[in-house]
């Protein structure tokens, strides 16, 4: 029903477009015209997601057309009734100026500043400002292995996870291919403990105490068995590990460099203008 209605609408406006008051773009297929503004078929096609059925496509198109027509009509009515046009023009010009300056500054930054700080710069920042990089959550390194409750050789699995050495990891990887529901190894990456807790059916009242006192933890429910090994941990309030802090440090350093660059650039621009007598002061 809606599909046929949309097709009728499109057919009608395509036919009527030949007698609109203003000429449409000859290279495009016009669908409708309101107040001298044209809506084209390609604009509708752009907003229809791929692999959407005909009925949903019709609903999306009708909604877009309704919104487009309403916006055009509201804008035209507003232009005829708004009285403070000078104020609007001033705001538009201020925004244009700010946007143009911002775009130019960004281009200068891209051309003249490095893409990011060096490892040495980040390490120096980390050591100098470590007290400002306190963790707001507990993080751990380790592994989490989840297997069906009837999985074979659980005693071996328990021993492998408790050990955590290279040979044990190789055994776990081979075992998990055939038997594991999931195997997460994060021995090289600091991971929020809350993310691990989402995967284990336990309630932990004191997460800091848990990660501190449990190098190995095992539990089960009616269908699954869970093996957790905590190789390293950092608790809330401790200094964030350098590996985790690097993206934050990089942003802080780059933002500082950008701010200093813009300040210096503006100062040199003003100083050159004064020295070159590009600025004319009128005597009172």
Entry field: residues in the chain: 284
pLDDT (0 to 100) of residue 227:
98
Residues in the chain predicted with pLDDT less than 70, given as ranges, are 1-22
pLDDT (0 to 100) of residue 178:
94
pLDDT (0 to 100) of residue 14:
47
pLDDT (0 to 100) of residue 9:
54
Helix (H) or strand (E) holding 189, with range, is: strand 182-192
Q: Cα separation of 160 and 167, whole Å?
A: 8
Token digits for 181?
């529901």
pLDDT (0 to 100) of residue 27:
87
Q: What are phi and psi of 267, to 5 degrees?
A: -65, -45
Q: Cα separation of 204 and 202, whole Å?
A: 6
User: What pTM does this model have?
Assistant: 0.67
Q: Cα separation of 84 and 167, whole Å?
A: 77
Helix (H) or strand (E) holding 140, with range, is: strand 139-148
Domain ranges in the chain? 2-81, 98-134+242-258, 136-234
pLDDT (0 to 100) of residue 281:
84
**Strand, coil or helix: what is 37?**
strand
pLDDT digits (tens, 9 = 90+) for 82-138: 888 899 999 999 999 999 999 999 999 999 999 999 999 999 999 999 999 999 999
Question: Chain centroid to CA 126: how far?
Answer: 25
Q: Cα separation of 139 and 208, whole Å?
A: 9
Q: Quick one: CA torsion of 35, 37, 41, 46, rounded to 10 degrees?
A: -120
Token digits for 43?
């604009």
Token digits for 147?
């297997």
């Amino acid at each position: 029903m809606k599909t046929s209605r949309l097709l009728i609408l499109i057919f009608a406006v395509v036919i009527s477009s030949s007698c609109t008051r203003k000429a449409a773009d000859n290279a495009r297929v016009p669908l409708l015209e309101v107040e001298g503004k044209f809506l084209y078929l390609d604009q509708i096609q752009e907003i229809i997601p791929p692999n959407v059925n005909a009925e949903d496509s019709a609903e999306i198109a009708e909604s877009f057309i309704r919104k487009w027509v309403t916006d055009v009509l509201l804008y035209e009515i507003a232009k005829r009734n708004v009285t403070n046009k000078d104020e609007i023009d001033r705001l538009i010009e201020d925004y244009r100026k700010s946007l143009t300056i911002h775009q130019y500054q960004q281009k200068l930054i891209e051309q003249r500043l490095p893409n990011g700080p060096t490892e040495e710069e980040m390490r120096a920042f980390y050591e100098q400002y470590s007290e400002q990089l306190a963790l707001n959550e507990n993080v751990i390194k380790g592994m989490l292995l989840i297997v069906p409750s009837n999985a074979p050789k659980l005693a071996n699995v328990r021993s492998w996870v408790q050990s955590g050495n290279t040979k044990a990891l190789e055994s776990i990887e081979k075992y998990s291919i055939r038997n594991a529901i999931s195997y997460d190894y994060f021995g090289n990456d600091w991971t929020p403990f809350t993310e691990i807790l989402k995967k284990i059916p336990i309630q932990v009242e004191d997460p800091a105490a848990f990660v501190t006192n449990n190098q190995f933890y095992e539990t089960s429910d009616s269908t699954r068995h869970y093996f957790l090994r905590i190789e390293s941990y950092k608790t809330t309030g401790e200094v964030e590990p350098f590996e985790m802090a690097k993206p934050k440090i990089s942003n802080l350093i780059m933002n500082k460099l950008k701010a200093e660059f813009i300040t210096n650039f503006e100062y040199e621009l003003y100083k050159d203008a004064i020295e070159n007598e590009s600025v004319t002061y009128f005597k009172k």
